[in-house]
Amino acid sequence: MSQTTVKEGAAFVGVCGKREPPRMSPPNQSVEGLLQEVSNRSLNATESSEAWDPGTLRALKISLAVVLSIITLATVLSNAFVLTTIFLTRKLHTPANYLIGSLAVTDLLVSILVMPISIVYTITHTWSFGQILCDIWLSSDITCCTASILHLCVIALDRYWAITDALEYSKRRTAGHAAAMIAIVWAISICISIPPLFWRQAKAHEEMSDCLVNTSQISYTIYSTCGAFYIPSVLLIILYGRIYVAARNRILNPPSLYGKRFTTAQLIAGSAGSSLCSLNPSLHEGHSHSAGSALFFNHVKVKLADSVLERKRISAARERKATKTLGVILGAFIICWLPFFVASLVLPICRDSCWIHPALFDFFTWLGYLNSLINPIIYTVFNEEFRQAFQKVVHFRKAT
């Protein structure tokens, strides 16, 4: 994650780059002294020697490293299981699930390329891996975090088109269409991550203590935060609102059969695998059987009507669950990333008027990373098909 030239705890200039809040100079010396005193008693590894004895500080660092390592490992495993489930379950080989699989790949890259190094940097607050690895890490961080966020947009967009324009969209809802959407996501992410590479803070052979984007350009801060978070957030809210309205209308005002008399043609057309052809001979056997035939015919109509209504109830329940799932995804996304991006945009703009503790920025950064763990959990918990397929994969592995 990108950082300023002053060592910070974890904020963001690019997209989700690790960056520490700038130690802004207060307007007068007394305020500066107060801030320095507070800072000296913080949990920051480089400034806490006066407030914590070495043993306590070491225990805190170890505990924090263990917690962050557990989060990282859980993120790796959960996204790997989602990918394995999709790969092994033919039923899940659909364009919509390809988008979910691509999101899992992106979150897996975050957990492998970004989070392990971020653990070391968060604990030590010192960069010891050199300029080249710094460039790779920052680029991976910004690109993968942005791609993860943008994947939520294309998944919501796919769902919106599927609900509001089902007939037409079903014709172009192909694997190629999903691949094109994924390619656009990565292209945008790369465009956001490239500029910091031109602002190296040191040459390749020079030693460095921080891995950061050495720039104070507000234009890039606005460009990166808007492209990675604010614009996608607005798009997600609009799409989710329209999906909710469309799904609610379909539930409250179904297209047919509710509140209408069922005709034989409607019942036959609406019932899968049901037929009334066997009734034809009975209609010509004479008046003595007409009463029984009528009763039997009415009984079949009632059963068919119940079957159609039951299928519609199931369909409505699925619509509600799918909409609820999308809402949970949106809520988790906002909660995880909003604090980080608000601080990332506000701090460079207000400059000397703002100050935030580095430890709080570390928390905001890892709260954003946590979204890569939450995404696969949401899909396995709220998606019935994924849950069943996941259980089959687990049982298969146990059996083997």
DSSP 181-226: HHHHHHHHHHHHHSGGGGS-SS-TTS--S--------HHHHHHHHI
pLDDT tens digits, 166-199: 888 888 999 999 999 999 999 999 999 988 887 7
Percentage of the chain beyond pLDDT 70 is 64
Q: What is the DSSP string of 381-397?
A: HH-HHHHHHHHHHHHHH
In this structure, is residue 329 part of a structural domain? yes
In-domain check, residue 317: yes
Q: How many C-alpha atoms does 112 have within 13 Å on its Cβ side?
A: 11
Q: How confident is the model at residue 56 (pLDDT cuts 50, 70, 90)?
A: confident
Determine the Cα–Cα distance for residues 4 and 217; give it in Å rounded to an integer. Answer: 10
Kindly report the average pLDDT of the chain as a whole number. 76
> How far is it, in rounded angstroms, from Cα 57 to Cα 81?
36
Does some domain include residue 154?
yes
| Residue 259 falls inside a structural domain | no
pLDDT at 206 over 80: no
Structural domain including 38 reads: 29-253+312-399
Asked, for residue 4, whether it belongs to a domain, the answer is no
pLDDT value at position 245?
84
User: Residue 399: which pLDDT band, with cuts at 50, 70 and 90?
Assistant: low
Residue 281 domain-assigned?
A: no
User: Whose structure tokens read 């709220």?
Assistant: 382
- Pair 163, 326: CB distance under 8 Å: no
Residues 207-215, mean pLDDT to the nearest whole number: 71
Burial class of 77 by CB neighbour count within 10 A (0 to 12, 13 to 18, 19+): middle
Q: According to the model, what pLDDT value does residue 34 have?
A: 40
**Contacts of 170 by beta carbon, 8 Å cutoff, 6+ apart:** 162
CATH number of the domain encompassing residue 40:
1.20.1070.10
Residue with tokens 């602002």: 199
Residues 40-49 have a mean pLDDT of 44
pLDDT, tens digit, 9 for 90 and up, residues 58-92? 899 999 999 999 999 999 999 999 999 999 888 88
Residue 290 domain-assigned? no
User: What's the pLDDT at 348?
Assistant: 81
Q: How far is CA 293 from CA 267, 274, 278, 283, 289, in A?
A: 17, 18, 11, 7, 6
| Structure confidence at residue 311 (pLDDT) | 63
* Number of other CB atoms surrounding residue 209 within 10 Å: 12
End-to-end Cα separation, the chain, in angstroms: 42
Closest CA to 77 of 340, 318, 326, 397: 397
Closest by alpha carbon to 89, among 380, 372, 318, 328?
380
pTM summary value: 0.74
Report the domain count for the chain.
1
